[in-house]
């Protein structure tokens, strides 16, 4: 029988002891690594089926805690994915573009070749920033005026869901009569990304309808541009040909509305269910910004993002296969007790959340930020402030804060309606975790 | 628009693969896959699904394009001394190493070696049936099928008969622990460790005094001047219990399920001619095999059905779907031990037969064709014929049965009934 | 030295071409096709002997 002699041990690139085997070809490593990964940890505390259960959709945090504390790199064989749940691990993979690929929404939809995503073009970034900054407050005032005098308002549907899409219509300068139809189509397009074939078909139809709608508008604005995003896109000069309606629609698809929608809904859910926090914000208005950040940490609406390993790479003591699907859980990372003190508490005045726009690995001033995936990575455009458009992170923050501030100014009292039992919920797997019903009574100032 | 409506009706929601309905009855989804999505890109589960008979066969045969290893066979990393489970042939890809290890052991389960073990197989069946035959009824799985193959294997290994009940305990913990979901892994690992502690002195003894048993042969086996390491041998024994025990146990249960519930009319034929148990085994392996899926990775871009599968993509080959393909079998959804379009009897690793008929896909095909195929077949046929011969007037105890299903998918996808009660004249 | 296959005895098990892909490959019907016509190297001869052993129907032989 062969025995392992000391001289047979060599050390591999990653410091792991290797028993030298001579004369035999590949294959051995496959099995060993696979087994170490499979068997090295007990997974008694969680079964993959739980991760698609209704309980988990309702409240993901208990299972995420189990993953984060016990199986920080978890092989979910059911979903054929790997879950990463600790803050430092999530942030490190999130920014690691060379090793981990982000796939576009169009890939998930199965329409990889549809249009070009123009979100990174400088003029687009400027136009979006101008649009959002210009229109956020007037739109919020308009919405708030509609709520005045009503018996009650559902802040989730009337405010949080409407504000982002209405804002988008202003940024695009959609003609007033077309706005409602645009919002319906946009919503249908975004919903179609998730697996249900009926919803997917409806989404594809919406994409077709939007493309047809924008074709004439794009041409009009090409020759007579305004300040809006459609005009900007129409007049972009790109190397590989003039912009088309498909490019515009692709860009809209890839854009994120969920963080603003879900963030606003979750923010108001948390404030109304923690009245002492709402009082604090009312008395110290600067804390509204902090409340937004704390919401994105405590109850982030977009729970996770997916990445695909570009190569086989060893991390977390395991070998990740090429092409592996990795789930980066923002929700788990945001409650990591290694980073945040009393992470399960919603506290707008906490001192351990970054209050400035995060850079790089999501830290500025040495503080961690709540991770919210929809807001992208720090811009790659020039670092000099005048040449750099405001980031989506800042734009979203300001839009949310502005709109919420208008609500606080317009209504000196905002309370949950008496029989309301609001809750956060993801309606289907991978969909955002937010409040879909938030009945409130608003008393005008 | 009719075409759009059709497309919608035939569209697949990938979450269906995780639903309990699929575990209970995968065949409708298989049909949708075969007919409308013969190459299905499941973006939810990050893999590609192949379901038609000849595409599954083609993938199994094409070692240049489809590899079993999860990791790149030519990759840089070479892990070594810290293996937990012990070397195990199941995880090898298409390599010389795989062929070496397989050739070392495959011969122990076919031909003369296998024939030499058959008396033991008969004896164990007899002993188990002796305990049952006065009862008038029996729950086949707990009292027979889950006992039978493990005792056969432990005898093949030459382990002492008086310790058989201990082995049954280890076996059950191993099965629970080594399922795909990693559930109860630590208990499985503990059982495996106990088993290995048990085997260590035995292996040393057999090296000094080799016997005729499988363990002695594994210890002494040599190929190209090299022997298996102790870890490799122990790993193989653990594999034998899992892959050789659990599957055969479920196969026997499935055969009886079909004879009692699916085609009780054909049970009469089999009672009259016990040679037909071979057909029951074959048709069971086609109609609803124990293992429905095998996994591969592409090693290069592969063109199939006008699409390109990228390199290093995960592939799932649904044997259970291929076996029900009308393109290979007539009336594929009918269980019929007399069908004339299926090669009956001993399977070939190649999946090709001189009678020109297609075989079932239940053992896979090609490089990684099930090594224990001959043994599984013999065991199942012997177990079933003895049962039928010794228990009179066998009939189902209950008129209804929930059917064959996968167990909780956390434990892996092996299909069999959860329980199977029989009555007979005591 | 050459490999020879008795087609009457062969029943297409495939053990030869799966174990020794350098010497045999599968034809359209499942019978083996000999790839190496002349066994010149030691490795070939060794593998050829193993192939003779591995065939379950003893259909392979080596001739001079």
Residue B327's domain comprises 45-425
- DSSP letters, A56-105, are HHH--HHHHHHHHHH-SEEEETTTTEEEE-SHHHHHHHHT-TTTEEPPPH
Provide the pLDDT for residue A382: 55
Q: Between 1.10.10.60, 3.50.50.60, 1.10.630.10, 3.40.50.10800, what CATH number should domain A109-302+372-444 receive?
A: 1.10.630.10
* pLDDT value of position A442: 95
Give CA–CA dist B215/B199, Å, rounded.
Answer: 9
Nearest to A30 among B70, B180, B310 (CB): B70
> Which pLDDT score is estimated for A27?
34
ipTM here: 0.91
List the Cα angle A69/A70/A76 in 5-degree steps: 115
Q: Which of B102, B350, B369 sits opposite C26 (nearest CB)?
A: B350
Residues of chain B contacting residue C56, judged by C-beta atoms under 8 Å apart: 110-111
B46 lies within 8 A of chain A by CB: yes
Give pLDDT tens digits for B295-346.
899 999 999 999 999 999 999 999 999 999 999 999 999 999 999 999 999 9
Could you give the CA distance from residue A140 to residue B14 in angstroms, rounded to a whole number? 40
Q: Are strands B314-318 and A411-416 parallel, antiparallel or unpaired?
A: unpaired
Whole-number Å distance between alpha carbons of A153 and A143: 11
- In chain B, what residues touch C22 (CB-CB under 8 Å)? none
Structure tokens at B198: 């048990």
- Record: contact A39-B185, CB cut-off 8 A: yes
The CA distance from A435 to A182, in Å, is: 23
Report yes or no: B181 and A77 within 8 Å, Cβ to Cβ.
yes
Query: Residue B46: left (phi > 0), alpha (psi -120 to 50), or beta?
Result: left
Question: Which of B71, B83, B185 is facing A312, going by the closest CB pair?
Answer: B71
What pLDDT is stored for residue A176 in this prediction? 97
Q: Strands (DSSP E) along C14-55, which ranges?
A: 24-26, 32-34
The answer to whether residue A7 neighbours chain B at the CB level (below 8 Å) is no
Touching chains C and A? (3+ Cβ pairs < 8 A): no
- How many C-beta neighbours within 10 Å does residue B220 have? 13
d(CA A168, CA A184): 12
Q: Please answer yes or no on whether B350 and C29 come within 8 Å at the CB atom.
A: no
Q: What does the pLDDT look like over B166-186, one tens digit per residue?
A: 888 887 777 665 544 344 556
Give the closest residue to A72 by CA, choosing from A47, A92, A90, A49: A90
Q: What is the pTM of this model?
A: 0.89
Q: Which residues pair with C34 in a beta bridge?
A: C24
Q: Report pLDDT for A314.
A: 75
Quick check: B62 and B84 in contact, CB under 8 A? no
Q: What is the CATH number of the domain that holds C48?
A: 3.30.70.20
Alpha carbon distance B298, A34 (integer Å): 17
Give the pLDDT mean for B411-415.
Answer: 63
Q: How far apart are the first and last CA of chain B?
A: 65
Of the candidates A266, A253, A273, A356, the residue with the CA atom closest to the CA atom of residue A303 = A266
Q: Which two tokens stand for residue B227?
A: 């022997």
Q: For each of chain C's 64 residues, which pLDDT tens digit applies?
A: 899 999 999 999 999 999 899 999 999 999 999 999 899 998 888 889 888 988 889 999 999 8
pLDDT at B84: 31
CA A341 – CA A330 distance, rounded (Å): 17
Q: What is the pLDDT of residue B1?
A: 63
Helix, strand, coil percentages in chain A from 3-state DSSP, rounded to 5: 50, 15, 40
Which residue in A2, A8, A28, A198 has the most chain B C-beta atoms within 10 A of its own C-beta, making it the best mutation to test that interface?
A: A28
* pLDDT reported for residue A365: 60
Question: Which mean pLDDT values do the consecutive 10-residue runs of chain A (445 residues) have?
Answer: 45 43 36 43 72 95 96 86 93 86 92 93 93 97 95 96 97 97 97 90 96 98 96 95 97 92 97 97 96 94 94 77 93 94 95 70 63 65 68 91 97 93 93 96 91
Whether B87 contacts A28, CB under 8 Å: yes
Which residue matches tokens 């409708």? B28
Q: List for chain B the helix, strand, coil content (%; round to 5).
A: 55, 10, 35
CA atoms of B346 and A34, how far apart (whole Å) = 33
Determine contact: C15 vs chain B, CB below 8 A.
yes
Find the residue in B nearest to C9 (Cα).
B354
B180 interfacial to chain A (CB closer than 8 Å) = yes
Q: Are chains B and C in contact at 3+ CB pairs closer than 8 Å?
A: yes
Domain spans of chain A? 109-302+372-444
Q: Please state the separation of Cα A234 from the chain's center in Å.
A: 28
> In Å, how far are A89, B113, B180, B228 from B87, measured between CA atoms?
31, 24, 17, 10
**CA–CA gap between residue A36 and residue A40 (Å, rounded):** 5
Residue B349 maps to a domain:
yes
B226 and A23 within 8 Å at the Cβ level: the answer is yes
Asked if residue B35 belongs to a domain, the reply is no
Which sign does the torsion angle of CA A12, A17, A22, A23 carry?
Answer: negative
**Nearest residue to A256 via CA among A390, A380, A377, A95:** A377
Question: For chain B, how many structural domains are there in total?
Answer: 1
Structure tokens at B175: 């099965």
Position B165 scores a pLDDT of 86
Q: CA–CA separation, A172 vs A182, rounded Å?
A: 11
Q: Which residue has the higher pLDDT, B353 or A380?
A: B353
3-state SS assignment for residue B67: strand
Residue owning tokens 């329980």: B419
**What's the confidence (pLDDT) of residue A407?**
97
Range of the domain at C58: 2-63
**pLDDT value at position A6?**
47
Q: What is the pLDDT of residue C34?
A: 95
User: What is the Cα–Cα distance from C19 to B247, expressed in whole angstroms?
Assistant: 25
| Test the C interface: residue of B95, B97, B350, B368 with most C CBs within 10 Å | B350
Mode of pairing for the β-strands spanning A100-101 and A304-309: antiparallel
Q: How far apart are CA B281 and CA B142, in angstroms?
A: 20
Q: How many CB pairs under 8 A join A and B?
A: 185
**H or E element that contains B249:** helix B247-257
Domain assignment present for B113: yes
pLDDT of residue A183: 97
Helices B277-287, B373-390: crossing angle, 10 deg rounding: 120
pLDDT at B104: 73
Cα distance between residue A232 and residue A130, in whole Å: 11
Q: CB–CB of A323 and B73 under 8 A?
A: no
**CA angle A148–A150–A152, rounded 5-degree value:** 110
Closest by CA to A307, choosing from A93, A106, A77, is A93
CA B424 to chain centre: 29
Helix (H, G, I), strand (E, B) or coil at B40: strand
CA gap B96, A205 in Å, rounded: 52
Count of CB pairs separated by less than 8 Å, B with C = 45
The Cα–Cα gap between B246 and B406 comes to 13
CA atoms within 13 A on the CB side of A441: 8
Mean pLDDT of chain B: 86
pLDDT of residue B237: 81
Q: Are C26 and B369 in contact (CB under 8 A)?
A: no
**What's the CA angle centered on A385, arms A379 and A390, to 5 degrees?**
50
A98 CB near a chain B CB, below 8 Å? no
CATH (domain of B357): 1.10.630.10
Query: A391: Cβ–Cβ under 8 A, 6 or more apart, which residues?
Result: A357, A375, A376, A378, A379
């Amino acid at each position: 029988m062969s025995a392992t002699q000391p001289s047979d041990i060599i050390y591999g690139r990653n410091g792991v002891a290797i028993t030298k085997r001579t004369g035999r070809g590949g294959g051995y490593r496959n099995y060993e690594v696979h087994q170490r990964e499979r068997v090295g940890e007990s997974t008694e505390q969680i079964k993959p089926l739980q991760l698609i259960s209704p309980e988990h959709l309702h409240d993901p945090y208990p299972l995420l805690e189990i993953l984060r504390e016990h199986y920080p790199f978890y092989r979910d064989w059911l979903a054929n994915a790997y879950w990463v749940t600790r803050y430092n691990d999530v942030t490190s993979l999130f920014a690691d573009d060379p090793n981990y690929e982000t796939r576009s929404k169009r890939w998930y939809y199965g329409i990889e070749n549809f249009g070009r995503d123009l979100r990174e073009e400088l003029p687009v970034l400027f136009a979006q920033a101008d649009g959002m900054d210009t229109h956020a407050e007037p739109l919020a005032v308009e919405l708030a005026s509609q709520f005045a005098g009503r018996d009650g308002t559902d802040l989730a549907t009337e405010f949080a869901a409407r504000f982002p899409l209405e804002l988008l219509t202003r940024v695009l300068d959609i003609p007033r009569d077309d706005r409602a139809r645009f919002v319906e189509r946009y919503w249908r397009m975004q919903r179609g990304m998730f697996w249900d074939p009926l919803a997917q078909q409806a989404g594809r139809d919406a994409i077709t309808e939007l493309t047809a709608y924008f074709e004439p508008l794009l041409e009009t604005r090409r020759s007579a541009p305004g300040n809006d995003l459609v005009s900007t896109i129409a007049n972009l000069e790109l190397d590989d040909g003039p912009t088309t309606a498909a490019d515009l629609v692709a860009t809209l698809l890839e854009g994120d509305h969920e963080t603003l929608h879900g963030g606003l809904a979750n923010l108001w859910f948390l404030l109304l269910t923690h009245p002492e926090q709402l009082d604090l914000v009312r008395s110290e208005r600067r804390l509204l910004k902090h409340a937004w950040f704390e919401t994105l940490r405590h109850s982030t609406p977009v729970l996770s993002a997916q990445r695909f390993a570009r190569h086989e790479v060893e991390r977390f003591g395991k070998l990740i296969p090429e092409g592996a699907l990795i789930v980066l859980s923002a929700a788990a990372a945001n409650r990591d007790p290694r980073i945040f003190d009393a992470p399960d508490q919603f506290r707008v005045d906490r001192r351990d959340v970054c209050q400035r726009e995060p850079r790089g690995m999501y830290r500025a001033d040495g503080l961690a930020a709540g991770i919210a995936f929809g807001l992208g990575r720090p811009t790659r455009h020039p670092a000099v402030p005048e040449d750099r458009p405001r980031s989506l992170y800042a734009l979203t923050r300001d839009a949310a804060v502005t709109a919420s501030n208008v609500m606080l100014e317009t209504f000196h009292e905002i309370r949950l309606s008496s029989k309301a039992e609001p809750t956060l919920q993801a309606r289907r797997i991978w969909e955002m975790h937010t409040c879909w019903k938030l009945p409130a009574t608003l008393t005008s100032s | 628009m009719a075409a759009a409506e059709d497309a919608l009706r035939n569209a697949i929601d990938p979450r269906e693969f995780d639903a309990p309905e699929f575990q209970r009855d995968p065949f409708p989804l298989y049909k949708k896959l075969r007919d409308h999505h013969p190459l299905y890109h499941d973006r939810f589960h990050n893999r590609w699904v192949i379901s038609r008979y000849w595409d599954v066969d083609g993938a199994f045969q094409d070692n240049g394009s489809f590899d079993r290893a999860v990791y790149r066979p030519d990759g840089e990393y070479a892990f070594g001394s810290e293996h937990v489970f012990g070397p195990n042939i199941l995880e090898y890809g298409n390599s010389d190493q795989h062929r070496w290890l397989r050739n070392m052991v495959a011969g122990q389960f076919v031909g003369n070696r296998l024939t030499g073990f058959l008396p033991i197989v008969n004896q164990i069946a007899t002993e188990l049936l002796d305990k049952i035959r006065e009862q008038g009824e029996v729950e086949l799985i707990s009292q027979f099928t889950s006992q039978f193959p493990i005792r056969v294997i432990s005898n093949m290994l030459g382990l002492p008969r008086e310790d058989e009940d201990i082995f049954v305990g280890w076996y059950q913990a191993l099965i629970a622990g080594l399922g795909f979901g990693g559930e109860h892994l630590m208990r499985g690992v503990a059982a495996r460790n106990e088993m290995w502690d048990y085997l260590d002195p035995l292996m040393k003894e057999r090296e000094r005094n080799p016997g005729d048993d499988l363990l002695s042969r594994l210890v002494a086996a040599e190929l190209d001047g090299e022997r298996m390491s102790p870890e490799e041998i122990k790993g193989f024994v653990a594999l034998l219990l899992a892959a050789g025990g659990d599957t055969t146990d479920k196969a026997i249960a499935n055969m009886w399920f079909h004879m009692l519930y699916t085609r009780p009319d054909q049970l009469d034929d089999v009672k009259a001619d016990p040679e037909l148990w071979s057909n029951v085994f074959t048709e069971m392996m086609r109609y609803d095999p124990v293992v429905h899926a095998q996994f591969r990775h592409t090693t290069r871009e592969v063109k199939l059905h006008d699409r390109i599968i990228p390199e290093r993509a995960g592939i799932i080959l649904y044997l259970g779907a291929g076996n029900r393909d009308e393109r290979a079998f007539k009336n594929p959804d009918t269980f019929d031990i007399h069908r004339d379009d299926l090669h009956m009897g001993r399977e070939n690793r190649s999946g090709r037969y001189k009678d020109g008929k297609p075989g079932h896909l239940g053992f896979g095909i090609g490089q990684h064709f099930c090594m224990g195929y001959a043994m599984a077949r013999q065991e199942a046929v012997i177990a079933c014929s003895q049962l039928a011969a010794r228990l009179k007037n066998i009939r189902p105890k209950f008129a209804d049965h929930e059917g064959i299903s996968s167990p909780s998918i956390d434990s892996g996808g092996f299909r069999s009934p959860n329980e199977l009660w029989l009555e007979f004249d005591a | 030295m050459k490999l020879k296959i008795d087609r009457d005895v062969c029943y297409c098990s495939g053990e030869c071409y799966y174990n020794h892909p350098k010497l045999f490959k599968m034809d359209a019907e499942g019978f083996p096709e000999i790839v190496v016509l002349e066994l010149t190297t030691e490795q070939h001869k060794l593998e050829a002997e193993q192939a003779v052993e591995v065939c379950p129907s003893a259909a392979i032989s080596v001739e001079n």
